[in-house]
Chains A and B, each alone.
Chain A
Amino acid sequence: MLEHYWTALTTVLQPVNLVAILLGSLWGIVAGALPGISASMAVVLGIPFTFGMQPVTAFSMLVSVYCGAITGGSITAILFGIPGEPSAVCTVVEGHSMAKQGHAAKAMWIAIIASAVGGVFSVFVMMFATPLVATFALAFGPAEYFALMVLGLSVVSSLSGRSLTKGFLSCLFGLFLATVGTDGITGAERFTFGTSVLLGGIGFVIAMVGLLAASEVFAEAEQPFKEKTASAEYRGLRAEIPRWVEWRRHLGILGWSSTLGTVVGALPGAGATIASFLAYGEASRWSKRPEKFGKGAEDGLIAAEAANNASTGGSLTVLLALGIPGSNTTAMLLGAFMIHGLQAGPLLLVQRPDVVYGIFIAALLTNLIMILTTIWGVRLFLQLNRLPYSVFASVIMLLCVIGAFGINNSVDDLYVMFIFGVIGYLMAKFEYPTAPAVLGLVLGDLAELSFRRGLVLSQGDPMVFVSRPISALLLLLSLVALFYPLLRKRMGIPAES
């Protein structure tokens, strides 16, 4: 096996492959930062360029586009509060709060480092524990998926901020939104009001751009004379270079989130977004300073970014081991394999070890090179902060519109986005937190589908959720998670600070 790595390393280190990785990750970062271009679209757009390349070069480039896009999504998330990628939702919540407090550069450093660590971790898992991850992922049936989603939803109690009631109501609203559209089990239309706009459901990126970003612009517009040059408040990248002392206490969360991200990334149908939500939730639960969550918590940002990048390795693991794409983007990669005359599946490792090991090495290198390319990208974007808010706000609005439109190229989605902007504005006015609503919308769909799928499989017997060990354990954990903050309050234990 070692000699395979050695050959792969020497192949990937050839200048042409290094250039491919560099260009791939640059394109990935730019595409990821643009809200209208998702990671899968970035890969699709890159595929034609690989036609004339050797397979190793082609996949080095495509994998670096993939990893770059997931990282790039955090740039727009932190600076503008718009998720460049769906998986950057939690990054918006924490990273953008930090940016508003003048620590955009610090948030960027955290995101870059956490992303790189998560990415590298998952590549090592992919290299040495592929069969283990694949077996574990396959053990997840509908019951386990459901339990995992419940665990994710149980975070609501830590996300709620001051009022638990309002947090729960907000989450229920999100769960309701997740039911809109065509029902995945019977194919019936739900809450579509006879129009075709909502047939595909409410896209959570669209809703979330409205709820989090557009609503903020509306709220800021209430203060017409608040002209300020934002740049004065920001500290530059150099001033915020992270220190080892600060990072030492985050090591636990970094490791745990990377593991969680890798595993969830390997589950088909789950992927980067759900991975980052789950890791973020776990971080908020075990954090020493849970009250900081939603207001710029560093550990929350670390968890979200480490997990969404770690999911790339998990997703690639099942793709390479079984030929099953764990996410939309890896589905595109599967298509690219076919174009290059390769068949992803259990036999690929035997037939073309050069390609598989090449991908391992390329993914590893990408995660390291990306540190440099992202810093370059961030410096560019940070310049925008010199703009006065009135101009900056219109840039944000423009990005909101591009982001909402770009997903399906549909004008209808713009209306949906603006309606959610107004809803988000009203929620803020009445002090309902919006994060739980987004949580409900993101997890609700898969939670409902896997619940009903589980019942179809067990022929209506609900015991299936508690009789399977993994599922039972996850459900038990969610119960604890749900009531722990309540109990802590009741017993009068103050949150540590």
Chain B
Amino acid sequence: MQRLVLLLLSVFFFALPGSLTAAYPERPIEIIVPFGVGGGSDTAARAIVPALEKVLKAKIVVTNMPGGGATKGMLHVAQQPADGYTILAITTSHFIDAVKPKARSNLLEDFVPVARYQLDITGVLVGGKAPFKNLKDLIDYGKKNPRQLKFAGTSPGGWSEIQTLSFAKLAGIQMTFVPYASGAEIKAAMLGGHIHGAMEEVAETLPLIKAGQIRALAMISESRHPALPDVPTTVEQGINHTKGLTRGFAVRKGTPPDLVKLLADAVKKAMEDPSYKKFEQENYLHIRKGYLPLDEFRKAWEEEVSLYKEILKDAGF
């Protein structure tokens, strides 16, 4: 009886603002970052969480679950109840995984999009001692010496390799991709001249670029980077490739749609919070429009998945 009264009372109270999900969130929400602490994806998630907590009026816990590219964390979320209390921080790596036939969880089939909040920009970077002064030098060298250009990245078969391959394909050259464990190791290898360069998101590398120890040959983008106004874009150089790294959130398929919508709106509001705005500005993440909710985000997923399908097929994965 007591329970019934409680139930009725709660329905009465929570029905007032409009829907059942108004009770959400009634306990802490967990965001699973399928990468290690301190990486780009982790830093981004941790930057938006305080603002998101303010908007949702709930505690949000960030849990890192690295392993298997970005698979381990994804499998974990796929096994949690579809109640909106476990959110997966997704990146482009998940789109690429969705193409691979052996993937054990498929983003398109097992998840629904909440929202994208960042679309980062990749730079074509080479070490300061490398003999390439501009993109043309690099491509000329690549054409004369197939497979001799050594570019590093952090995710074999994932984002950085696909980005390198896509660029190489459109530039008409063949590169050798060298996998490293972290961005720090790649920077050291570039400075030491052990590799020619890397396709990396530039925010973290800016100090080294400004000091002239690493050279940015081009930005993979439509417009020039405000922090590096002298660096041309790929489009200016006649390479029609502008894809960047997506960072967003997804929840398990079967999560109530109004709840997903509530989360998407919360992300939008959180992105307007001064604390997050400051982070965006400092890391140059505001240059491209980040926010992309629900179905629009899904459309972007599908587009990218079909693009990567082709690139991976060409690369023989």
B97: nearest chain-A partner, CB-CB: A187
- A184: chain B residues at CB < 8 Å are 156, 179, 181
B244 adjacent to chain A (CB < 8 Å)? no
Q: Are B176 and A459 in contact (CB under 8 A)?
A: yes
Residues of chain B from 285 to 302 with CB closer than 8 A to chain A in the complex? none
Bits for A173-207, please: 1 = Cβ < 8 Å to B, else 0: 00000000111111101001000100111000000
**Are A139 and B192 within 8 A (Cβ)?**
yes
Q: A338 near B283 (CB under 8 angstroms)?
A: yes
Q: 1/0 contact trace for A312-326 toward B, CB 8 Å?
A: 000000100011111
Q: Is B25 an interface residue (CB 8 A)?
A: no
**Interface-centre pick from B63, B176, B179, B185 (highest chain A CB count, 10 A):** B185
Are A141 and B185 touching (Cβ within 8 A)?
no
- Report if A456-B178 is in contact (Cβ < 8 Å); known contacts: A200-B66, A322-B191, A323-B207: yes
Docked complex Cα distance between A310 and B241 (Å): 46
- The answer for the CA separation of A24 and B158 in the assembled complex, in Å, is 39
Determine if B155 and A187 form an interchain contact, defined as CB atoms under 8 angstroms apart. Answer: yes
**Which residue on A lies nearest to B78, using beta carbons?**
A196
| Chain B residues with CB below 8 A from A345, complex form | 206-208, 210-211
- Cβ contacts under 8 Å, B208 to chain A: 322-323, 345-346
What string of 1s and 0s marks CB contacts (under 8 Å) between A346-374 and chain B?
11100000000000000000000000000
Instruction: From B68-76, B232-240, B260-268, give the one contacting chain A.
Output: B68-76
Q: Does A140 contact B (CB under 8 A)?
A: yes
Q: Which of B68, B192, B204, B210 contacts A196 (CB 8 A)?
A: B68
* Bound-complex Cα distance A187 to B185 (A): 18
Residues A186 and B157 in contact, CB atoms below 8 Å apart: yes
Pair A142/B194 contact, Cβ less than 8 Å: yes
Alpha-carbon gap, A409 to B283, bound state (A): 30
Contact partners of A348 in chain B: CB under 8 A = 207
CB proximity of B78 to chain A, nearest CB, Å: 10
User: Which of A210-218, A328-336, A429-437 lies on the face that meets chain B?
Assistant: A328-336
CA distance A459 to B148 in the complex (A): 9
**Is A231 part of the binding interface, using a Cβ–Cβ cutoff of 8 Å?**
no
Indicate if A343 sits at the interface (CB-CB under 8 A): yes
Taking the closest CB of chain A, its distance from the CB of B136, in whole angstroms, is 24
B43 lies within 8 A of chain A by Cβ: yes
Given known contacts A40-B37, A457-B194, A200 and B68 CB-to-CB distance under 8 angstroms: yes
Q: Is B64 an interface residue (CB 8 A)?
A: yes
Is the C-beta of B188 less than 8 angstroms from some C-beta in chain A?
yes
Indicate if the CB atoms of B192 and A187 lie closer than 8 Å: no
Any chain B CB within 8 A of the CB of A472? no
B156 lies within 8 A of A196 (CB): no
For B119-158 the 0/1 string (1 means CB < 8 A from A) is 0000000000000000000000000000100100001111
A289 to chain B, nearest CB (A): 38
- Whether A268 and B185, one on each chain, are in contact in the complex, defined by CB atoms closer than 8 angstroms, is yes
A250 within 8 A of B: no
Q: Is the CB of B207 within 8 A of A138?
A: no
Nearest chain-B residue to A266 (Cβ)? B188
Contact with A along B22-48 (1 / 0, CB 8 A): 000000000000001110000100000
Q: Given contacts A186-B156, A268-B188, A345-B211, is CB(A328)–CB(B194) below 8 Å?
A: no
Once the chains are docked, how many angstroms separate the CA of A196 from the CA of B70?
11
Q: Is the CB of A196 within 8 A of B75?
A: yes
Residue of A whose beta carbon sits closest to that of B179: A185
For A346, give the chain B residue with the smallest CB separation: B211
Tell me if A449 and B67 are in contact (CB < 8 A): no
A268 touches B182 (CB 8 A): yes
Q: Is the CB of B67 within 8 A of A457?
A: no
Kindly provide the distance from the CB of A315 to the nearest chain B CB, expressed in whole angstroms: 10
Q: In the complex, how many angstroms separate the beta carbon of B129 from the nearest chain A beta carbon?
A: 10
Given contacts A187-B155, A346-B213, A457-B195, contact A324 B184 (CB under 8 A): yes
Does any Cβ of A come within 8 Å of B252's Cβ? no
Which of chain B's residues 68-122 have a Cβ closer than 8 Å to chain A?
A: 68-69, 71-72, 75-76, 104
Closest to B176 in A: A456
Indicate whether B65 reaches chain A with its CB closer than 8 angstroms.
yes
Which of A137, A200, A331 touches B188 (beta carbons < 8 Å)? A137
Complex: A187 Cα to B69 Cα, angstroms: 7
Chain A's nearest CB lies how many Å from the CB of B62?
Answer: 10
Inter-chain CA distance A348–B213, complex, in Å, is 14
A98 at the interface (CB under 8 A from B): no
Report, as a range, how many residues of chain B touch the other chain: 35 or more
Q: How far is the CA of A318 from the CA of B208 in the complex (A)?
A: 12
User: Could you tell me if B72 and A200 are in contact, using CB atoms closer than 8 angstroms?
Assistant: yes
Q: Does A269 contact B (CB under 8 A)?
A: yes
| B311 interfacial by beta-carbon distance below 8 Å | no
Contact with A along B171-200 (1 / 0, CB 8 A): 000001011111011011101101100000
Indicate if the CB atoms of B184 and A331 lie closer than 8 Å: yes
- Chain A residues, CB < 8 A from B36: 328
Point out the residues of chain A lying under 8 angstroms from B63, CB to CB.
409
What residues of A have a CB within 8 angstroms of the CB of B38 in the complex? 40, 325, 328, 331-332, 334-335
**Chain A residues with Cβ under 8 A from B156's Cβ?**
183-187
Would A269 and B185 count as touching, CB distance under 8 A? yes
- Closest Cβ of chain A to B236, distance in Å, is 27
Residues on the B chain within 8 Å of A192, using CB: 68
Instruction: Decide if B69 touches A347 in the complex (CB within 8 Å).
Output: no
Report yes or no: A453 in contact with B180, Cβ–Cβ below 8 A: yes
A394 near B: Cβ within 8 Å? no
A101 at the interface (CB under 8 A from B): no
Question: CB within 8 A of B71: which of A141, A196, A267, A346?
Answer: A196
User: Contacts A200-B67, A456-B176, A459-B147: A343 and B207 contacting too (C-beta < 8 A)?
Assistant: yes
A277 to B187, CA, bound (A): 25
- Chain A hits for B75, CB < 8 A: 196, 199
Report whether B69 and A268 are in contact in the complex, using a CB–CB cutoff of 8 Å: no
- Which residues of chain B are within 8 angstroms of A344 by Cβ–Cβ distance? 207
A224 CB-CB contact with B under 8 Å: no
Closest chain B residue to A203 by CB distance?
A: B67
| A-chain residues with CB within 8 Å of residue B37 when the two chains form the complex | 40-41, 44, 328, 331-332
A467 adjacent to chain B (CB < 8 Å): no
Q: Is residue A494 within 8 Å, beta carbon to beta carbon, of the partner chain? A: no
Which of B176, B182, B194 has the largest number of chain A CB atoms within 10 A? B194
Q: How near does chain A come to B235, taking the closest CB pair, in angstroms?
A: 28
Partner of A341, one of B189, B210, B282: B282
Determine whether the beta carbon of A187 is less than 8 Å from that of B184. Answer: no
* B contact residues around A185 at 8 Å (CB): 156, 179
The reply to whether B195 and A196 form a contact with Cβ atoms under 8 Å apart is no
Are B72 and A324 closer than 8 Å at their CB atoms? Answer: no
By beta carbon, the residue of chain B nearest A47 is B46
Question: Shortest CB–CB separation between residue B161 and chain A, in angstroms?
Answer: 8
User: In the complex, A40 Cα to B180 Cα: how many Å?
Assistant: 21
Q: List 7 A-B contacts (CB under 8 A).
A: A141-B192, A141-B194, A142-B189, A200-B68, A268-B187, A346-B211, A453-B179
A-B contact sample (16 more), CB < 8 A, given A196-B76, A347-B210, A456-B150: A139-B192, A184-B181, A187-B69, A199-B67, A199-B72, A201-B67, A267-B188, A268-B184, A318-B188, A322-B208, A323-B187, A335-B43, A345-B210, A408-B65, A409-B63, A459-B176
